[in-house]
Amino acid sequence: MDSGETRLFKGYRIQHNNVMGPYKGGMRYHEQVSLDELKALATQMTWKCALLGVPFGGGKGGIKFNPHDHSHDELRRITRRFTHALGSNIGPAHDIPAPDMGTNSQTMVWMMDTYINTGPTYEKNDQRAVVTGKTINSGGSEGREMATGQGVVHCIKEWAREARFDLEGATAIIQGFGNVGSNAALLLSKLGVSTIATGDHSGYLRNDEGFNAHKLQDYVRVNGSIDGYPRGEKISRAEFFETKADLFVPAALENQVGEEEAMKLDVRLIAEGANGPINPRGAAVLADRGIPVIPDILANSGGVTVSYYEWVQNRNSEHWDAEEVQRRLLHMMRRAYQRTMFYAAEKKVDPRIAAYALALDSLATSYKERGIFP
């Protein structure tokens, strides 16, 4: 620590499945990180990559601590020490971490630098692909920072087109104003959708006129949370869930919408930016109430998709321009959305079941084709 004191942290890396390609998944820094949570999140990464047709498997990792309690230097030391401890358990053809809650492009650059500096000198530049979500300067992809929010918004646009719903003038509530939540708010505002309530670990705010997503994002970058932002009225968590709006984007933690919250929500559509934000009881209430949900493994898959593009660019020593990344992302998200909704309609199941079924189907086919060795 900056004080000279030594502290021990608990970190994890879960490797769930690699039949479709190297393990892939985020690194989470949060005080609630646990082995079971990461096992569940790693499993979802397997289904997500299989659904999108991204040639990766599923992994996830994290360190159990609150990053807001630490200085830049302490975060760097914690990240480097953990990466070194992971050693050869990660690697560009084996297991590829990425940002998740509490981590960002800076965290990824530290991980990359630590990893490549412990390998042979002649391999250094081949090893950049050990993590994705890096800064553009250090080998990241154009569009990765916004990719998850962008993917959420692509799904919302597809839904609006099919439902003949005009997004211009619509309203949204967004839980979590970090990478996913703030970029979703920004991109929605470009379509004419106002974010009228939001919240994070520090509390919740409402602004009936709609927040200026750029200004709030800048404020959070400087201050670490929405706390103290002057252009909004403080509301409780319960009031946030009661706010009438057209769209709800959960973009914070898992298990945020249980029975109680699902009863309160007064929205037309939920697009899951976060992983697992709705628990099974909440999902049952929403189904009864007829509120459609675009499931996490589809809605937030823009992040892993552009991570895959970053990995391809690193391995081929290429740098694609932003338009190229956007074009490819839109194509893959649309295809996954259409396949999921077509399957859901055909089999009369909800989109979450459809997404899981399509993912499992492709994994099962792969296992069948490969058979048992020897």
Q: How many residues in the chain? A: 374
Structure token digits, residue 117: 């500096």
Residue 261 interacts with ligand NAD (CB under 6 A)?
A: no
CA distances from 9 to 96, 118, 234, 253 (A): 21, 21, 34, 21
Distance in angstroms (rounded) separating the CA atoms of residues 355 and 339: 9
Residue pair 302/328 in contact by the 8 Å Cβ criterion = no
Interface with ligand NAD (CB under 6 A), residue from 24, 128, 201, 352: 201
Q: Which helix (H) or strand (E) is 64 found in, with range?
A: strand 58-64
Residue 195 interacts with ligand NAD (CB under 6 A)?
A: no
Interface with ligand NAD (CB under 6 A), residue from 21, 139, 140, 176: 176
Residue pair 232/202 in contact by the 8 Å Cβ criterion = no
Distance in angstroms (rounded) separating the CA atoms of residues 50 and 357: 10
In the three-class reduction of DSSP (H, G, I as helix; E, B as strand; rest coil), residue 196 is classed as: strand
The span of 50-58, 109-117, 272-280, 327-335 binding ligand NAD (CB under 6 A) equals: 272-280
End-to-end CA distance of the chain: 51
Q: What residues numbered 9-28 form the site for ligand NAD, per CB under 6 A?
A: 26
Distance in angstroms (rounded) separating the CA atoms of residues 329 and 154: 9
Distance in angstroms (rounded) separating the CA atoms of residues 145 and 212: 19
Distance in angstroms (rounded) separating the CA atoms of residues 6 and 56: 37
Q: What is the rounded radius of gyration, in angstroms, for the C-alpha atoms of the chain?
A: 20
Complex with ligand NAD: residue 33 or 180, whichever CB lies closer: 180
The span of 10-18, 186-194, 199-207, 330-338 binding ligand NAD (CB under 6 A) equals: 199-207
Interface with ligand NAD (CB under 6 A), residue from 143, 178, 282, 295: 178
Q: Is 244 a catalytic residue?
A: no
Residue 355 interacts with ligand NAD (CB under 6 A)?
A: no
In the three-class reduction of DSSP (H, G, I as helix; E, B as strand; rest coil), residue 204 is classed as: strand
Structure token digits, residue 172: 């949204």
Residue 253 interacts with ligand NAD (CB under 6 A)?
A: yes
The span of 85-93, 105-113, 198-206, 315-323 binding ligand NAD (CB under 6 A) equals: 198-206
Complex with ligand NAD: residue 119 or 225, whichever CB lies closer: 225
Shortest Å distance, C-beta 99 to ligand NAD: 5
From the candidates 10, 24, 48, 60, give the one annotated as an active-site residue. Answer: 60
Shortest Å distance, C-beta 188 to ligand NAD: 15
Residue 148 interacts with ligand NAD (CB under 6 A)?
A: yes
Q: Give 179's DSSP letter.
A: H
Residue 199 interacts with ligand NAD (CB under 6 A)?
A: yes
Nearest residue to ligand NAD, by Cβ distance, number only: 178
Shortest Å distance, C-beta 106 to ligand NAD: 12
Question: For the packed helices 351-370 and 35-52, what is the interaxial angle rounded to 10 degrees?
Answer: 80
Q: What residues numbered 99-118 form the site for ligand NAD, per CB under 6 A?
A: 99-102
Interface with ligand NAD (CB under 6 A), residue from 252, 283, 286, 293: 252
Complex with ligand NAD: residue 195 or 275, whichever CB lies closer: 275
Provide the annotated active-site residues.
60
Which residues lie near ligand NAD (CB under 6 A)? Answer: 26, 99-102, 148, 175-181, 199-201, 225, 251-253, 273-275, 300, 303
